[in-house]
């Protein structure tokens, strides 16, 4: 559910728009930042959340909003921008599930990096790791195509 003041419909950010916004936010031109903010302020938060999160990971989350405007503050709050910019893939996935915004597509994008995080935490010289998805979350990964990590 969108926060008050946020329009649930709007531009859906895809990988193409993400690339354009990334270049705009990394430029030194303030006009590019303002255009990017206007696009983000009018986007569909839920449908664009994965790409918004990816944008915020590039140390540009402060350029994504102008906190002097009501629209930017509403956007920041709706996507929990400053918290999610520091979340890794696993924490972001937990946030999405809590918010009810997790989709199979987003899970498939996050899964390889979540596997890497698991492998880093459980490296062992003698044993390979075997990971399977819990039953509660099979809806996001019905095929469980990748279940071994070493």
Domain assignment of residue 117, yes or no: yes
What pTM, to 2 d.p., does this model score?
A: 0.86
121 and 80 in one domain?
Answer: no
Taking the chain, what is the end-to-end CA distance rounded to the nearest angstrom? 39
What per-residue confidence (pLDDT) applies to 135?
A: 86
Instruction: Count Cβ atoms within 10 A of the Cβ of residue 114 and give its class: 0-12 exposed, 13-18 middle, 19 or more buried.
Output: middle
> What's 87-112 look like in SS3?
CCHHHHHHHHHHHCCCCHHHHHHHHH
Helix (H, G, I), strand (E, B), or coil: what is residue 124? Answer: coil
80 and 36 in one domain?
Answer: yes
Residue with tokens 């509660």: 136
Sign of the torsion formed by the C-alpha atoms of 40, 44, 46 and 51: negative
Number of domains in the chain: 2
Domain assignment of residue 5, yes or no: no
Pick the last residue of a domain from 35, 60, 84: 84
Pick the last residue of a domain from 84, 105, 139: 84
**CA distance linking residue 72 with residue 118, whole number of Å:** 35
Domain assignment of residue 10, yes or no: no
What per-residue confidence (pLDDT) applies to 146?
A: 57
76 and 20 in one domain?
Answer: yes
Q: Which two tokens stand for residue 54?
A: 């990816």
Beta bridge partners of 148: 130
**CA distance linking residue 94 with residue 96, whole number of Å:** 5
What range defines the domain where residue 34 resides? 15-84
What per-residue confidence (pLDDT) applies to 8?
A: 60
**CA distance linking residue 70 with residue 11, whole number of Å:** 19
Residue 97's CB is within 10 A of a number of other CB atoms, namely 14
106 and 59 in one domain?
Answer: no
145 and 103 in one domain?
Answer: yes
104 and 123 in one domain?
Answer: yes
What per-residue confidence (pLDDT) applies to 6?
A: 54
Please give the chain's pLDDT, 150 residues, in tens.
444 555 567 899 999 999 999 999 999 999 999 999 999 999 999 999 999 999 999 788 999 999 899 999 999 999 999 999 999 999 999 999 999 999 999 999 999 999 889 888 887 788 877 788 888 888 998 777 655 555
């Amino acid at each position: 559910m969108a926060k008050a003041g946020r329009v649930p419909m709007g531009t859906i950010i895809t990988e193409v728009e993400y690339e354009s916004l990334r270049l705009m936010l990394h430029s030194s031109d303030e006009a590019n930042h303002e255009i990017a903010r206007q696009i983000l302020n009018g986007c569909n938060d839920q449908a664009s959340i994965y790409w918004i999160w990816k944008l915020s990971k590039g140390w540009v989350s402060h350029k994504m909003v102008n906190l002097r405007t009501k629209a930017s503050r509403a956007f920041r709050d709706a996507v929990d921008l400053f918290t999610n910019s520091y979340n890794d893939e696993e924490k972001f996935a937990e946030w999405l599930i809590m918010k009810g915004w997790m989709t199979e597509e987003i899970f498939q994008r996050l899964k390889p990096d979540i596997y890497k995080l698991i492998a880093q935490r459980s490296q062992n010289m003698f044993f390979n790791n075997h990971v399977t998805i819990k039953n509660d979350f099979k809806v996001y990964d019905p095929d469980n195509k990748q279940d071994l990590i070493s």
